[in-house]
Amino acid sequence: MLPDRLARLLTSYIDGELTARQRRAVQRLLQRSPEARRLLAELRGDSALIRSLPARPMRQDLSQSVLQAIALRGLRVPPPRRAAPRWRLLSPWLAYAVAASVLLMIGTASFLYFDTAERWDNRRVVVQKENKLARPGDNRSTSATPAGNQQASAPSEKRPDQPVTPTTPSPVADTPKPQLPEPPAVVNNQSETQPPKPPTVVNNQPKPEPSKPGPSTSQDELTTPRSVEPRPDPLQVTPPRLNILAVRELDLPEVQKQLTDDLARTDALRLELFCLDSGKAFERIQAALQGQGVRLVFDPDAQAKVRQKAKVDYVFYTEDLTATELAAVLRHLASEDKKAAARRPTDGQFGKAVLNPLSDTDRRELAALLGVPVGQLARSSAMSPASRKPERAMLVVSYTPSRSGAPAREVVKQFLDSRGDRRPESLQVLLVLRNL
């Protein structure tokens, strides 16, 4: 009999999962041991036997039924989780360097801004002085002087009685100057009758982009209304799905508030709870519901699966819970699941809770699951508090959409028939417990 250690090497050998050294050891073993050779041949034969099984393709295109189920259940892909920014993974020194660069850039930009502003002020002062010194009627210095020349002139280089001209050729003087638009006639007229006003500097100030003569901004252009593109109405929003929440956070005050707000927006909802193992998660839901005095009414198939602790999806349906009670159930669920996870991390069962308003599609799906017409789900309006039923019930069926449409079982009929009128403020709740 070959020792187990060597037999293990042989199984890894036929799987091609040995290191070179182990492979050499196995080859030496095979050379000297007929028993090893026999076992290897048998293991290879067994493996070949399994590999000889023919491939069994699916006999139908499943994509249509999957897409249909997605649409029927109103499933949506959650928005992508934001990955941690890459810079967080880099050295902290890089962060310091980036911060220093940003500060440097801000400093440089500030300097340039204030420096430029000061130059503009200086130019403005020069122009104003020139305007004051200009003889009445002589507007050459203010309106006919090319702006480019003024740009090149410095206050200290000018004499008050001279037109503003550059004393030294500027580096850009040789370049062809753009044709400036003629100054508006109204300025000249004003200058003849009134002392020049500071605003006339507008005509003398260099254009922001003199090298790019754009279309002239005439008064007509400024006053002609432009075609305004329609902007989306900020108040017009599409009705959103309610929310995606982490079950274990449902006992936090701020999350509870958000949940209560969400529940207040609807009177019928579909709540999907995602769990690791519905066999265990079911017990927690049951305890949370019983804490609110809710009795579970089991479809026989679902009851058998619950007893087996089978990992299957379940549907719970009730019209007897108020938003406050449902919030309390979820709070209880969150706290119990958190406690379990604290005892042993693998005991935490719940992931996300997805809340959606109950759509017509959901109602049709529920009716198909229960095996009743959609109309039978409808229930008369809220009853008076005096006739309120003391007991609240919730129907539990296993969630097997592919087998939906079967006739309703007796227990389902009884559950639906025994419903009274709805309590005031009670919600129609379709809860789906789904395995991840």
Partner 1 sequence: MFSDDNRLITECLQGRTEAFGELVRRYQDRLYNTVYRLTGNAEDAQDIVQETFLNAYLSLDSFKGESLFFTWLYRIAVNTALSLKRRSRRLVAQRIKARLNDEELEPSDNSEDSQPGLALERAEEERRIQSILNRLSPEHRAVLILKDIEGQKYETMADILGVPVGTIRSRLHRARMELRELLKQLDKG
Which residues contact partner 1 (rule: CB under 8 A)? Answer: 7-8, 11-12, 15, 17, 42-43, 46-47, 49-58, 61-67, 69-71, 73, 75, 77-81, 274, 277, 279, 308-313, 400, 402, 434-436
In angstroms, give the least distance from the CB of 11 to partner 1.
Answer: 4
In angstroms, give the least distance from the CB of 10 to partner 1.
Answer: 9
In angstroms, give the least distance from the CB of 383 to partner 1.
Answer: 37
> How many Cβ atoms are within 10 Å of 429's Cβ, its own excluded?
22
> Which residue is it, tokens 């090497």?
9
- Cβ proximity to partner 1: between 210 and 279 the closer is 279
CA 354 to chain CA centroid, Å, is: 14
- Cβ proximity to partner 1: between 55 and 89 the closer is 55
Angle, to 10 degrees, between the axis of helix 323-343 and the axis of helix 278-291?
Answer: 130
- Cβ proximity to partner 1: between 177 and 352 the closer is 352
In angstroms, give the least distance from the CB of 56 to partner 1.
Answer: 5
In angstroms, give the least distance from the CB of 105 to partner 1.
Answer: 34
Q: Are 255 and 249 in contact (CB under 8 A)?
A: yes
In angstroms, give the least distance from the CB of 86 to partner 1.
Answer: 14
> Which residue is it, tokens 């209560």?
260
Q: Are 318 and 429 in contact (CB under 8 A)?
A: yes
Considering only CA atoms, which of 185, 177, 201, 190 is closest in space to residue 127? 201
- Cβ proximity to partner 1: between 80 and 171 the closer is 80
Q: Are 436 and 278 in contact (CB under 8 A)?
A: no
- Cβ proximity to partner 1: between 40 and 333 the closer is 40
- Cβ proximity to partner 1: between 42 and 182 the closer is 42
In angstroms, give the least distance from the CB of 304 to partner 1.
Answer: 10
In angstroms, give the least distance from the CB of 333 to partner 1.
Answer: 19
In angstroms, give the least distance from the CB of 36 to partner 1.
Answer: 14
For the chain, the C-alpha Rg in angstroms (whole number) is 41
- Cβ proximity to partner 1: between 72 and 180 the closer is 72
- Cβ proximity to partner 1: between 158 and 434 the closer is 434
Q: How many residues would you count in the chain?
A: 436
- Cβ proximity to partner 1: between 54 and 253 the closer is 54
In angstroms, give the least distance from the CB of 358 to partner 1.
Answer: 18
Question: What CA–CA distance (Å, rounded) separates 224 from 435?
Answer: 64
Supply 211's token pair: 């090298």
- Cβ proximity to partner 1: between 64 and 156 the closer is 64
The amino acid sitting at 250 is L
For 106, the 3-state DSSP assignment is helix
β partners of residue 243 = 355
- Cβ proximity to partner 1: between 68 and 122 the closer is 68
In angstroms, give the least distance from the CB of 435 to partner 1.
Answer: 7
| Cβ neighbours for 135, distance < 8 A, ≥ 6 positions apart | none
CA 243 to chain CA centroid, Å, is: 12
| Cβ neighbours for 3, distance < 8 A, ≥ 6 positions apart | none
The amino acid sitting at 393 is A
Supply 404's token pair: 């939906």
Question: What CA–CA distance (Å, rounded) separates 180 from 118?
Answer: 25
The DSSP secondary-structure symbol of 143 reads I
| Cβ neighbours for 265, distance < 8 A, ≥ 6 positions apart | 242, 357
DSSP 130-142: HHHHSPTT--III
